[in-house]
Amino acid sequence: MTMKKLELVFIPTPAIGHFVSSVEFAKRLLLRDDRFSASFLVKAAAPHSVSVFLRPEVLGVKFIESHKFCVKDSIINQVLLPEPVSVVGLVVDTFTISMIDVATELGFPSYLFNTSGYLNPIPSNVLPSLLFDKDGGGYLCFLNLVRRFKETKAIINNSFEELESHAVKTLSELEDYINNKPIFTVGPLLDVLHGRQTQSSLRSAIRSNMRKL
C-alpha cells in the first residue's frame, strides 16, 4: 500500500524574492523529513487593465484575490486527485494571504511565511511611501493584509532570532494580535549558488502555473 505523502501547497507572490525564499524553505523541509512533498501554485498573467484609482501594489493584491476559485480548482484537480497525498497545509506570504480563505473552504490549516524577515526599529521616513498613502489605498490595503496574519495557524519567518531578536520578541508579546500562535524562525534561506537556475525555475513555474518539488 502506497503511503500518502504529507503535502504542503505553497502560494507565493509571483516575484523572484518571494519565490526563491519559498523554494529554499520547501527544499530544506523536504531534506529534513521525506514524509513531506511540496507543490507550488504560481499565477502567470498580469492584470488586463489598470485602474487609475488604485496604486499598482493595491491592484496586484486585488488581482491575486480574484483568483481564489482558480487556486481552489488547481488544488483539487492537480494536487489531490493525481496522487495519493494528504494536504496538511497551505503556505502563503503577505501578499497572497487572501488564499487562507481557500484553505478554510477545503478544511486545511494555513501558515504565513514571511519571505524577507522582520524589521527591527527603523525611521518612518525610510519606509515605502505607499504605506502612508491613504488616498490611493496603499495604507488600508497593507493594514488589511497584516490584520489577517492572526487567522493563520503559525507564522514562519525567513530570519533568525539573534539577528532580529527585538522584532521576534515584540511580535511574540502581541497576544491579542497573533492569538498566541507559534512563531518560527527558519532563516536565512538564500540561494546564493543557483540564482540563475532559480530564476529559470520561476519562469518555468509561471508558465505552467505549478511546479512540483
CATH number at residue 195: 3.40.50.2000
Check if the beta carbon of residue 118 is closer than 8 Å to that of residue 165: no
Residue with the larger pLDDT of the pair 140 and 213: 140
Determine the pLDDT at residue 50.
44
| CA distances, 44 to each of 14, 48, 59, 101, 206 (Å) | 7, 12, 15, 21, 5
pLDDT at 73: 92
Q: Is 59 left (phi over 0), alpha (psi -120 to 50) or beta?
A: alpha
Each residue's pLDDT tens digit, 92-126? 998 899 999 999 999 999 999 988 776 666 777 77
Q: What is the pLDDT of residue 153?
A: 92
pLDDT of residue 178: 66
Least trusted range by pLDDT, from 64-78, 139-153, 159-173: 159-173
What's the average model confidence in pLDDT over 187-208?
Answer: 56
Check 18, 34, 135, 191 and give the catalytic one. 18
User: How much is the pTM?
Assistant: 0.78
Residue span of the structural domain in which 115 resides: 5-120+128-212
Reference 62, options 72, 51, 73, 70; nearest CA is 51
Residue 18 is a catalytic residue? yes
pLDDT reading at 143 higher than 80: yes
- What is the Cα–Cα distance from 52 to 55, expressed in whole angstroms? 8
pLDDT higher than 80, residue 7:
yes
Q: Which candidate in 93, 176, 191, 194 is catalytic?
A: 93
The total number of structural domains that make up the chain: 1
176 is catalytic: no
